[in-house]
Structure 1
Amino acid sequence: MANFQALFLDIDGTILQPDDTMQESTKTAVKLMKEKGLEIFLATGRPLHEIADIGEILKINSFIGYNGALAIYDGQDIVKSPMDPNLVDLYIKIAAEKNNELVLYTSSHNLLSNPDSEVTKQFCKKFHLRSNKQYTEDEKANILGITVMNLNEEDIHLYEGFPEIHLSQVNIEGFRHSYDVISDKVNKGMAISTVLKRLNIDAKNAIAFGDGMNDKEMLSVVGEGFAMGNAHEKLFAYAKHTTTSVSDSGIYNGLKTLGLKEE
């Protein structure tokens, strides 16, 4: 391969298939990249305290979580950007008025605005959210990310009516009523730029794979950005490359086009 030094991988729809399994080709691709000396990060909207098992399987211990609000390299925090507590207050109010449900993520647990709702229970089951508590106002300064659930398209503007904030639809079948809250200043792309600067790696020597609209900044900042074949239809415009789907060796096949070869 060329002088690639870093690889950033989304999880749901990129590493994990719809049934939450991981293809052997994905494990092989990650192993080969590690052997070639690349720094590898899992880059996800998920809370980091819920993905340790995926890191262990792939032997990855560097992460970008909460859609870029927290980045960890070999156990050291590189980025930590909590959300504005005033924005959290407003979202809690809007959700109550519109009967939406929120998952609010901290560095150690997940806070649920309505733990008893079926939508919340299904979301937590799908994304393996186990460390859950009822949201209380005293936690508002600790929030690193938010997902809005049970949201109708006509109400999206209520959450986007604030400077430098937009929503990103969850690209998982059955959960398209769910949207991650993304900041223009706190996202996967911004976190990756900070990580690359800290590691003294030129962006042209970085690779990223993703499938959701929360990956658009990530795919845009690296030299080689890949949209999975199963990606959200609007994501392809932000990717330099398109690869096969998560269920058809998408990561392996994408890296192969860049010169991945098994010894």
Structure 2
Amino acid sequence: MFLFDIDGTLFDNANDEVPASALRALQELHKTADIGIATGRARFMLYSIEELMPLIKYSVLINGRYILDGENVIFEEPLSGDVLERLVRDMEELNIIYGFQGSDDEAISKIDEEIIRFFCELRLDLPPLNKNYHLQKKVYQAWCFCNEEEVETLRRKHPDLQFIRWLHVGYDILPKSSSKSKGMKMLAEKVGIGLENIVAFGDGDNDYEMLRDAGLGIAMGNGTEKAKAVADYVTDAVDRDGIYKALIRFGFIKRQNSKSKMLE
């Protein structure tokens, strides 16, 4: 089984695309192996890799808190109401903009010009405004926009939660017991394979445990130092055909005949 992170791995955020070489590589890999994704995104946020979805069998979503076999939910673990109530209270006191992620939608507590600019830069849809989302639906992950001083305050008040940084302004918030690796292990148990039979690709700090625990962990060349340090192999960057090159390097697919320089 192969598990791929999305942002910075399958999806080139800077160029707003799935690299052509990655698409072709997964099309070839799909002929002989099961392919899955392991991402902090929820199901409704997979539009960025729409062309890849027919090739995807398993989905470890929301950093391991929601797992699909095809369209069937095989594991889910929402946050408790008490945890969310305390967290929201503390973020409100700090005047932090925060949001909630459900299985099929999300919401944000406040929208200002900086938030609009940030979502435009990421090429993500702006979530609807709903400060009470956590009182109405299951929440699998929270997130916030804050500085390091503010997040340290939240860490001290919520020692059972982890605050995982993404890009330069945001943090995913979920229990310390949660990770892509835990989701990977849960998936392996459900389908009856060992971790030694899983190849994982990733680029971020939230891929660290997954890269460490998989049978073969491959970090992208554009990855964080933490991800690259624990990986068994570091391939080229997402925009330099990193996935294709790694799959060729380990013999998982055959080199494609192409006149395109990107595949040479």
Answer yes or no: is the 8 Å Cα contact 2:116–2:126 preserved in 1. no
Q: Distance in 2 between matches of 1:127 and 1:70?
A: 23
CA offset at residue 43 of structure 1? 1.3
**Residue 35 in 1 paired to residue 27 in 2?**
no
1:3 aligns with none
| 2:236 is equivalent to residue 244 of structure 1 | yes
Provide the secondary structure at the position in 2 that maps to 1:129. coil
Give yes or no for contact 2:11–2:49 (8 Å, CA) kept in 1.
no
Say whether the 8 Å CA contact 2:25–2:253 is kept in structure 1.
Answer: no
* CA distance in 1 between partners of 2:136 and 2:179 (Å): 19
Q: Which residue of 1 aligns with 2:198?
A: 206
Task: Map Cα deviations across residues 203-236 of structure 1 (whole Å, 9 max, x no partner).
Answer: 1111111111111121122111111111122222
CA positional deviation for 1:90: 2.3
CA distance in 2, matches of 1:147, 1:79: 21
Q: 1:65 aligns with which of 56, 61, 66?
A: 61
Percent same amino acid among aligned pairs?
Answer: 25
Query: Can you give the 5+ residue segments of structure 1 that lack an aligned partner in the other structure?
Result: 1-5
Structure 1 distance, partners of 2:175, 2:254, is 39
Check conservation: 1:67, 1:186, Cα contact below 8 A.
Answer: yes
User: One-letter code of the match for 1:86?
Assistant: D
- The corresponding residue for 1:22 is 18
Whichever residue aligns with residue 13 of structure 1, its letter is G
- Secondary structure of 1:107's partner? coil
Q: Would the alpha carbon gap of residues 165 and 237 (structure 1) be closer, same or farther in structure 2, given more than 3 Å must change?
A: farther
5 Å-filtered alignment, 1:138-177, equals: 139=135, 142-149=138-145, 151-161=146-156, 162-170=158-166, 175-177=167-169
Tell me how many residue pairs correspond in the alignment: 251
Q: Secondary structure of the residue that 2:35 maps to in structure 1?
A: strand
Return 5+ residue gaps in structure 2 as ranges. Answer: 256-264
Q: Secondary structure at the match of 2:247?
A: helix
Letter aligned with residue 39 of structure 2 = T
Classify the secondary structure of the residue corresponding to 2:239: coil
C-alpha separation in 2, matches of 1:104 and 1:118? 20
Summarize the Cα distance change of 1:117–1:83 in structure 2 as closer, same or farther, 3 Å threshold.
same
CA RMSD of aligned residues (A): 2.0
CA distance in 2, matches of 1:160, 1:199: 35
- Once the two structures are overlaid, the 10-residue window that deviates more, 54-63 or 96-105, is 54-63
d(CA) in 2 for partners of 1:26, 1:91: 39
- Whether 1:256 and 2:248 are equivalent positions in the alignment is yes
Aligned residue type for 1:67: N
Q: Is the 1:27–1:58 Cα contact (8 Å) retained in structure 2?
A: no
Task: Decide whether aligned partners of structure 1 residues 62 and 55 sit closer, same or farther in structure 2, where only a CA change above 3 A counts.
Answer: farther
Give the drift of 1:148.
1.5
1:7 to 2, 8, 17: 2
Q: Deviations over 1:116-137 (max 9, x none)?
A: 2233323443252356341216
> Which one is further off, 217-226 or 179-188?
179-188
* Counterpart secondary structure, 1:181: strand
Instruction: Describe the superposition over 1:168-216 as per-residue Cα deviations: whole angstroms up to 9, x where unpaired.
Output: 211xxxx411111243322211111011111111111111111111111
What's the counterpart of residue 119 of structure 1?
114
* Partner deviation per Cα, 1:11-38 (whole Å, 9 max, x = no partner): 11111111221111100111111101x2
